[in-house]
C-alpha cells in the first residue's frame, strides 16, 4: 500500500511538472506567433540586414582587426588600441583537442547538432529566468557569439538579438563547424587586449598554446565567459575558481582522467609580466572613460545606490558583462577617441609628483614604491579631466594601479566643504553665523586639542575645526549631508557612511582623487556637477559621431551656497591654516586633509581656471613620516598650479549677496596672512612646517579602513 501510494504521488508530481512545461511551451509558442504576426515586416528587414553583414564574409575576415586611435586636446595621437589576433591566429588543426572540447562543453553543449541557434537552450534559459525573476541564464550559441562580436553592435535590444540569430544561421551555411569553432577561439576576448587563444597564451604565460599545461589551458578557457569578472590581472582568484569548475566538469564527463584532474587543480597559476601598455596613467584612464561612455551611449544606466544586496549583485553582474563587451570593442572597433588630455600639463604634473616624492625610496616585494602620490586636474571651463597621474614614474614591468581613479582613501578634512558646509549653507545659514568651537563628549578632538570658543562658520572651516563640522553634521543629519555626494556619483559612499564621523572623513571605504576633484569643480561651477571624464567625443573610422560629450549637468548646490563656500575656502588660504598655498598671481580656494596617524594627506583646491586634487600616502595604509595635507600634497599642488597659470589673467572669484567684510578683508590683504604651524620630522630627518592643522583624532569610524588596492583593475572596481 505504501509503495502504491509513493508511485501515485510520483506520478502526480510528474504530471504537474509535465503540465507546467507544456504551459510554458504553449505560452512561448503563442507569444512567438503573436510576435511574428505583429512584427513580420520588421523581422524580414532584420533578416535582410543579417544577410547583408555576412554576405561578403570569408575566412580572412576573421583575421582582420581595426585599430582605435586616441587623441589629445590638440588632436595629436596619444596611443592606439589594437588587439593581437592578426599576429597570433592559430588554425584548428594546431589547437589541442581538449581546448576545443572544453569550449564546446562549457559554452555550447549542442554546438555540433544545431544550425546556429539552439531552441532548446532558449527554452531552458527562459524557464530559468522566469524561475529566478531575473536574467540568470543566456542562450547564445558559439556561432551567435561569433556573429555578435564580429558584425553587430553591443546594443541590448530584441532587434539586435534577432539579427544575431539570423547572422548565426547565415554563418552556419557558409562555414563548417570546425571552421566556426576556429574563428570563435581566435576572436573572442581574453581580457587585457588579448584576442584569441594564442595571444592570451603568450600574454599571460609567455608560451604557445601547445606548450601550456592542462591547468593553464583551461585557465584561459575560463576567461571569455566574462572577461571582466575573470580578468587574470584583476581577479585571479575568480579566474582560478572557474578553471577548477571547468576541470571538474571535464573530469565528470570523462574528458580527462582523475590523475589529470587532480594534478591540474593543484597546479599553481603564475602569470608572466602583463602588457606594458597598461602602465601609462593616461591610457588606463582613457580606456576606462571610453568604455563607460560607450556603455552609457548604448543604454546602460550607472547606479551607486541599491535597495538590497541582491539588487547590488545583479547590477554588478550586468556591469561586468557590459563593461567586458565594450572594453573589448575598443581593440577592434576602429574608434577615434578625442580627449581633453593636455600632454604638456600631464607631463608637468607627473614630473612634479616624481620630484616632490623622490625622498621616499622604500619599495614593496614587487619593487613598487611604498609611498605614493596621485593627482588629477580638471579644466573648469569644460569640466573635463585635462591631466591625471596615478602614481610615481617607475620602470616596472607589470600592471600599475592608477590611484587617481582606482584607489579610494579616507579624505580627512578635505571632505568638509562638500558634505558639511555647502549643504549647511543651503539650508539658510551664512558664513558669518557663529558656532561654538568647544570640546564635546563622545566626539572628535581638534588637532592639538586647540579650541577657539565662539567663531564664525568661515573661521571654523578656515581653521578646520573637527568639533564644528561634527556639530553641523549632527544638526542637519548625516543622511542630508551625504546625499550630496550621492548626487555627484561618489562610488564607494555607502549607507554605513551616514554618521557624524563622515563630517571629518570617517568613511567606510573612502573617495578617489577624481571624485574629490569633481566635487570641488562643482563648487567652482556655481554648484553644477559635470561627470568627470576625459572624453570629448568618439567617432568611428569614417568620422561619424558615436559619443558627443555635451556634458550632462546636475544641479547639486545652489549658486549662492557654492560661492559662499568658495569665499570661505579662499579665506582659509589667506587667513587660516593654508597660508602656504598663497600664490601672488593666482587667486585660489583650497582645503587640506590629513587622516589618523598621518596615513593619508590631501590637498584639494581650485582657481577660476583649474581644479586640482593631490593625494599622498602608502598603498597599504601606514604612517608616513612628514606627511599631512599641508606637506607633500601641498608642495605638489602649489607648484603645479603656479606653473599652469603662468601667463593667465589673475581672476577673482565671484561675490555672493551680503558678502562679509571679514572675507573681503582677507582677500584684499593676502600678503599679511598669518600662519599657524607645527613641526614634524621630514623624510630625511629634517623638520618642516605643517600648515594643515586638520588631523582627525580619536573618532569612532575613523582609522585605516582604506580599501585594499591589490588586484584592482582598469574597470575601476568603481562601477
Cell of 362: 622604500
Q: Residue 341 pLDDT more than 80?
A: yes
Distances (CA, A) of 47 to 14, 52, 168, 440: 40, 9, 11, 73
539-548: long-range contacts, CB 8 A cutoff, minimum separation 24: 539/335, 539/336, 539/338, 540/333, 540/334, 540/335, 540/336, 541/66, 541/334, 541/335, 541/336, 543/336, 546/294, 546/297, 546/335, 547/293, 547/294, 547/297
Confidence of residue 3 (pLDDT cuts 50, 70, 90): very low
Least confident of 136-140, 273-277, 298-302, 481-485: 273-277
Other C-beta atoms within 10 Å of 555: how many?
Answer: 12
Q: Which is more confident, 657 or 216?
A: 216
pLDDT of residue 81: 78
What percentage of the chain carries pLDDT values higher than 90?
Answer: 60
* Residue 47 contacts residue 263 (beta carbons within 8 Å): no
Averaged pLDDT for residues 359-379: 95
3-state DSSP: the chain helix, strand, coil percent, rounded to 5?
50, 15, 40
Other C-beta atoms within 10 Å of 547: how many?
Answer: 19
Q: Residue 234 pLDDT more than 90?
A: no
Cell of 431: 558664513
Beta strands in 457-609 (DSSP E): 528-530, 535-539, 545-548, 553-555, 589-594, 600-606
Task: Compute the mean pLDDT over every residue in the chain, rounded to the nearest whole number.
Answer: 84
Cell of 575: 587667513
Dihedral over Cα of 372, 708, 329, 241: its sign: positive
Backbone angles phi, psi at 555, to 5 degrees: -75, 115
Averaged pLDDT for residues 377-398: 90
Confidence of residue 139 (pLDDT cuts 50, 70, 90): low
Other C-beta atoms within 10 Å of 507: how many?
Answer: 27
* Residue 344 contacts residue 76 (beta carbons within 8 Å): no
Rounded Cα distance, 385 and 380, in Å: 9
- Sort strands 68-71 and 336-339 into parallel, antiparallel or unpaired: parallel
- Angle of helix 97-107 relative to helix 142-151, nearest 10 degrees? 90
- What residue spans define the domains of the chain? 1-55+96-184, 344-690
Dihedral over Cα of 690, 613, 373, 357: its sign: negative
- Fold entry, domain 1-55+96-184: Penicillin binding protein transpeptidase fold (1.10.3810)
pLDDT of residue 327: 86
Beta strands in 401-462 (DSSP E): 434-437, 453-456
Q: Which is more confident, 303 or 569?
A: 569
> What Rg value do the Cα atoms of the chain yield, rounded?
29
Maximum separation of any 2 CA atoms in the chain, in Å: 103
* Residue 228 contacts residue 321 (beta carbons within 8 Å): yes
pLDDT of residue 275: 47
Residue where the block lists cell 590611484:
403
Confidence of residue 35 (pLDDT cuts 50, 70, 90): low
Report which of 362, 368, 369, 371 is spatially closest to residue 399, judged by C-alpha positions: 368
Q: Residue 696 pLDDT more than 70?
A: no
Confidence of residue 50 (pLDDT cuts 50, 70, 90): low
End-to-end CA distance of the chain: 61
Rounded Cα distance, 401 and 384, in Å: 21
Report which of 236, 227, 10, 222 is spatially closest to residue 99, judged by C-alpha positions: 222
Most confident of 294-308, 387-401, 511-525, 530-544: 511-525
Report which of 587, 581, 634, 606 is spatially closest to residue 523, judged by C-alpha positions: 606
- Does domain 344-690 bear CATH number 3.30.70.270? no
604-629: string of b/e by CB count within 10 Å (b at 16+)? bbbbbbbbbbbbbbbbebeebebbbb
pLDDT of residue 148: 83
Beta bridge partners of 369: 363
Cell of 169: 544561421
Distance of alpha carbon 92 from the chain centroid: 37
pLDDT of residue 494: 73
Other C-beta atoms within 10 Å of 9: how many?
Answer: 10
Dihedral over Cα of 106, 110, 111, 115: its sign: negative
* Residue 405 contacts residue 285 (beta carbons within 8 Å): yes
The domains spanning 1-55+96-184 and 344-690 adopt the same CATH topology: no
597-644 pLDDT tens trace: 999 999 999 999 999 999 999 999 999 999 999 999 999 999 999 999
pLDDT of residue 142: 92
Q: Residue 683 pLDDT more than 70?
A: no
Establish how many alpha carbons lie within 13 A of residue 237's alpha carbon, considering only the half-sphere containing its beta carbon: 3
Most confident of 264-273, 508-517, 671-680: 508-517
Amino acid at each position: 500500500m505504501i509503495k502504491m501510494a509513493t508511485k501515485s504521488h510520483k506520478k502526480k508530481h510528474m504530471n504537474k511538472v509535465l503540465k507546467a512545461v507544456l504551459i510554458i511551451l504553449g505560452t512561448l509558442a503563442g507569444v512567438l506567433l503573436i510576435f511574428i504576426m505583429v512584427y513580420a515586416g520588421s523581422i524580414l528587414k532584420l533578416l535582410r540586414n543579417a544577410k547583408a553583414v555576412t554576405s561578403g564574409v570569408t575566412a580572412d575576415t576573421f583575421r582582420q582587426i581595426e585599430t582605435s586611435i586616441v587623441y589629445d586636446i590638440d588632436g595629436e595621437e596619444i596611443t592606439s588600441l589594437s588587439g593581437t589576433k592578426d599576429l597570433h591566429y592559430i588554425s584548428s588543426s594546431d589547437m589541442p583537442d581538449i581546448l576545443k572540447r572544453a569550449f564546446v562543453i562549457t559554452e555550447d553543449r549542442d554546438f555540433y547538432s544545431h544550425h546556429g541557434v539552439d531552441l532548446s537552450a532558449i527554452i531552458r534559459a527562459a524557464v530559468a529566468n522566469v524561475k529566478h525573476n531575473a536574467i540568470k541564464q543566456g542562450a547564445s550559441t558559439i556561432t551567435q557569439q561569433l556573429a555578435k562580436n564580429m558584425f553587430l553592435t553591443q546594443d541590448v535590444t530584441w532587434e539586435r538579438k534577432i539579427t544575431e540569430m539570423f547572422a548565426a544561421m547565415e554563418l552556419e551555411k557558409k562555414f563548417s563547424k570546425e571552421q566556426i569553432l576556429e574563428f570563435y577561439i581566435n576572436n573572442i576576448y581574453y581580457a587585457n587586449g588579448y584576442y584569441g587563444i594564442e595571444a592570451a597564451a603568450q600574454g599571460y604565460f609567455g608560451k604557445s598554446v601547445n606548450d601550456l599545461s592542462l591547468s593553464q589551458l583551461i585557465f584561459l578557457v575560463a576567461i571569455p565567459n566574462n572577461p571582466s569578472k575573470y580578468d587574470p590581472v584583476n581577479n585571479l582568484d575568480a579566474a582560478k575558481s572557474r578553471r577548477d569548475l571547468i576541470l571538474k566538469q571535464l573530469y565528470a564527463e570523462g574528458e580527462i582522467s582523475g590523475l589529470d584532474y587532480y594534478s591540474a587543480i593543484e597546479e599553481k597559476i603564475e602569470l608572466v609580466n602583463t602588457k606594458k601598455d597598461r602602465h601609462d596613467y593616461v591610457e588606463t584612464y582613457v580606456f576606462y572613460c571610453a568604455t563607460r561612455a560607450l556603455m552609457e551611449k548604448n543604454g546602460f544606466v550607472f547606479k551607486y545606490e541599491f535597495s538590497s544586496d541582491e539588487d547590488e549583485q545583479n547590477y554588478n553582474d550586468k556591469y561586468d558583462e557590459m563593461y567586458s563587451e565594450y572594453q573589448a570593442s575598443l581593440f577592434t572597433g576602429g574608434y577615434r577617441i578625442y580627449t581633453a588630455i593636455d600632454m604638456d600639463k600631464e607631463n608637468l604634473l607627473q614630473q612634479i609628483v616624481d620630484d616632490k616624492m623622490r625622498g621616499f625610496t622604500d619599495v614593496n616585494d614587487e619593487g613598487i614604491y611604498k609611498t605614493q602620490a596621485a593627482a588629477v586636474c580638471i579644466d573648469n571651463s569644460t569640466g573635463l579631466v585635462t591631466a591625471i597621474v596615478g602614481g610615481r614614474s617607475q620602470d616596472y614591468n607589470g600592471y600599475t594601479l592608477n590611484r587617481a581613479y582606482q584607489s579610494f582613501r579616507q579624505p580627512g578634512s578635505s571632505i568638509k566643504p562638500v558634505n558639511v558646509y555647502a549643504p549647511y549653507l543651503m539650508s539658510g545659514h551664512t558664513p558669518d553665523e557663529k558656532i561654538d568651537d568647544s570640546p564635546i563628549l563622545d566626539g572628535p578632538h581638534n588637532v592639538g586639542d586647540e579650541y577657539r570658543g565662539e567663531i564664525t562658520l568661515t573661521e571654523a572651516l578656515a581653521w578646520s575645526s573637527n568639533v564644528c563640522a561634527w556639530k553641523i553634521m549632527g544638526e542637519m543629519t548625516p543622511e542630508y549631508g551625504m546625499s550630496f555626494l550621492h548626487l555627484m556619483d561618489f562610488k564607494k559612499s555607502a549607507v554605513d557612511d551616514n554618521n557624524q564621523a563622515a563630517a571629518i572623513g570617517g568613511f567606510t571605504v573612502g573617495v578617489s582623487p577624481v571624485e574629490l576633484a569633481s566635487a570641488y569643480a562643482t563648487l567652482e561651477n556655481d554648484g553644477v556637477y559635470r561627470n568627470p571624464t576625459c572624453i570629448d567625443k568618439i567617432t568611428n573610422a569614417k568620422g561619424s559621431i558615436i559619443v558627443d560629450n555635451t556634458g550632462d549637468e546636475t544641479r547639486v548646490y545652489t549658486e549662492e551656497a557654492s560661492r559662499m563656500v568658495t569665499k570661505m575656502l579662499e579665506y582659509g588660504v589667506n587667513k587660516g591654516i593654508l597660508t602656504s598655498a598663497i600664490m601672488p598671481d593666482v587667486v585660489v580656494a583650497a582645503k587640506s586633509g590629513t587622516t589618523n596617524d598621518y596615513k593619508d594627506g590631501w590637498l584639494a583646491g581650485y582657481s577660476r581656471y583649474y581644479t586640482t586634487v593631490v593625494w599622498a600616502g602608502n598603498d597599504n595604509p601606514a604612517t608616513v613620516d612628514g606627511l599631512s595635507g599641508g606637506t607633500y600634497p601641498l608642495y605638489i599642488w602649489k607648484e603645479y598650479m603656479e606653473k599652469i597659470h603662468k601667463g593667465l589673467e589673475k581672476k577673482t572669484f565671484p561675490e555672493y549677496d551680503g558678502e562679509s567684510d571679514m572675507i573681503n578683508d582677507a582677500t584684499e590683504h593676502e600678503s599679511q596672512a598669518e600662519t599657524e604651524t607645527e613641526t614634524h620630522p621630514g623624510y630625511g630627518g629634517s623638520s618642516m612646517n605643517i600648515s594643515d592643522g586638520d588631523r582627525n583624532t580619536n573618532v569612532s569610524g575613523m582609522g585605516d579602513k582604506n580599501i585594499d588596492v591589490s588586484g584592482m583593475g582598469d574597470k575601476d572596481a568603481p562601477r
